[in-house]
Structure 1
Amino acid sequence: MAVPKGRAKDPDYGVELLWRDRAGGQRAGLNLDRIVAAAVELADQEGLAGLSMRKVADRLGFTTMSLYRHVPGRDQLVDLMRDAAWGELPDEGELPGGPLPAGWRDALETCARQGWALHQRHPWLAEGRGTRHVPGPNGVANYERMLAVVAATGLPAVQVVAAVELVGRLIEAEALALVETVRTERDSGVSEEQWWSARDSLFARLDRFPTITALHEAGGFERPDPFEFGLGRVLDGIALLIQSCDESRDEKAVCQVCGNPIDQPPSGRPRSYCSRACQQRAYRQRQPS
């Protein structure tokens, strides 16, 4: 599939690439799927900083110009790579034990752990995120699945979206930390543990700080897995939000005059009286004798 002239930087053409019809398969030889697969392998080894059209072409044994017949440039290639990676997540029927667990918390936890495992396999997913990456069908399908899990709790729509995006940001934050660690270890040839173990000159100066010293002696810096700790706290917060929402629905307003329950309208100003008669009675009671 040759790139149409003049559309190399057109975001809508990026959408067409990502959402292209895959039913007919692709021709043998150089094709978009082979280019994307080679680019993913390269990024896994060198990160996005080491990704270039020339390196991908060399890996495939073709000229750089031949790649441009299939993909306009590096930015579109990265979007295709992201969606290909998201396509590694299992469908519900392929999950161990079948569909997602019952209950929003277990289901959302499963989705989050799958996303974290994916970022561990492909740390570059968290690099250069920005706000204008066009999503593909695999990424949108994962987003849809997480939204469906939280929407089933009955939270307001805006809170459903915010909760899912909060979980996504946790995954990306931990993935960015992983990217930095992998990059530094690759460039220096020294592991994170080895580097910090050699910082005796620093540790010798920390005993003047009593809180740090006490926490260290109590094992405070033998911290739990940061992703698991963070995920637990995020899910705790969502659970409290759901509980608060449920309690608000249960607290039905009562009429200020007769004490009967009030059926509130779905929108607009809330009512204080159950009927027009009670509203008029309250008005008369407020009038001076």
Structure 2
Amino acid sequence: MRSQQLSVLTAWIVLQFFCGICSTVLLINVRNQGGEIIQENLTSNTTDDVITLEFQRSDGTLVTQVVDFKNEVLIIKALVLGEMEQGQNQYQTLCFVTHFYDKDFISSDAMAKLRQKNPSTVRVAEINRNYANYSMNLFLDVFQSNVISKHINDFCFEAAGSTFTRHEDVKKWAQRPDSSKTALLAAVHNFTIITSSQTTSNKTKSQSLSKCADTSTYTAPCTCSLELCISWYPCGLKFCKNKEEKDKPGLSYRCGIKTCKKCYIFSYYSKMKENCLWDE
């Protein structure tokens, strides 16, 4: 019995050791665009080749950014609190899934090696990548999303009816060597609205929607816009050169990281204006 307990204990210690290698967590104090200090939680998982960044905005919105290097997938999830002044006491979860290029972030392995000499220091990004507009013109079926990335279901299961992507992203993922176009097409859906004249025949018709800000009826569908800013994240490596010696060129070595700020404006379908009151 004792030998079994020792075996279990040994296995647990080994597991904890290897988990410590594959996953690294950093807590970073960051000054956001409004001058407020927020704390970002950065996790690097080298086994899955994923970086996760999470923080809470001053308005209570919880933002999670997931970078899946294996599948070239960027997930940004927002848990948005209800507008208490408008009588909303619940929250809604939104997920935006896009393609990205490796050059936009440092690798999960490089991220795992980062350490802070002064954890209390307030960080400010060196490079401002300004605003990027994303027109999220497709629904993404979370339960069929493994064809794109297994992490979508993990992070976006609460947003099963409000997870979005774009035609151009699907085209990029379709170019992956192991991609199944049939499975990809089955995982995404266009926005359609049933009109009163079509209800009896059960047909749908795609329609262009007004912006929620221009819509007066709170129960009407509209196009909502949500701005999400990542105020600080490692976006590249810095390289320095050793001093050149006679007849020998200086060798380059890694001497730090580049840090960036990027703001996203996501435009997406909202079932009703009431779910987009911040966009007034």
TM tier relative to shorter chain: under 0.3
> Which has a greater percent of strand?
2
> Which has a greater percent of helix?
1
Q: Which protein has the larger Cα radius of gyration, Structure 1 or Structure 2?
A: 1
The structure with higher relative contact order (CA 8 Å, sep 6+) is 2
| TM-score under structure 2 length normalisation | 0.23
